[in-house]
């Protein structure tokens, strides 16, 4: 098995359609440089370990792998002292 996966192989690993993978790239769920890498003139290649960490909710290269809207930078402070989305 390769450490880097195409969109089709990523979709098979996650058991979704390739269009779903493309949509998650577009929405920022998968981040370039963390989950996938793209060189000029090449298609994106996904790192298997980063995808597995994302799937399990773990860390990738010391950074928490989170879905957009769930990181602390995007958390919204609420009136009673808690944060929404953090």
Domain 4-78 has CATH 1.10.10: yes
The pLDDT tens digits for 60-83 are 555 554 444 444 455 666 666 666
Q: How far is 38 from 24, CA to CA, in rounded Å? A: 15
Is pTM beyond 0.75? Reply is: no
Residue extents of the structural domains in the chain: 4-78
**Strand partners of residue 37:** 45
Q: Which helix (H) or strand (E) holds 12?
A: helix 7-14
The pLDDT tens digits for 17-47 are 999 999 999 999 999 999 999 999 999 999 9
Q: How far is 3 from 71, CA to CA, in rounded Å? A: 26
Closest CA to 64 of 50, 47, 76, 74: 50
Beta strand 36-37 with 45-47: parallel, antiparallel or unpaired?
antiparallel
């Amino acid at each position: 098995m390769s450490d880097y996966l195409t969109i089709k192989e990523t979709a098979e690993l996650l058991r979704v359609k390739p269009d779903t993978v493309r949509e998650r790239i577009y929405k920022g769920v998968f981040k370039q440089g963390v989950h996938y890498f793209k060189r000029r003139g090449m298609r994106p290649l996904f790192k298997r370990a980063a995808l597995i960490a994302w799937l399990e909710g773990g860390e990738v290269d010391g950074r928490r792998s989170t879905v957009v809207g769930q990181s602390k930078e995007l958390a919204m402070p609420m009136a009673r002292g808690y944060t929404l989305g953090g």
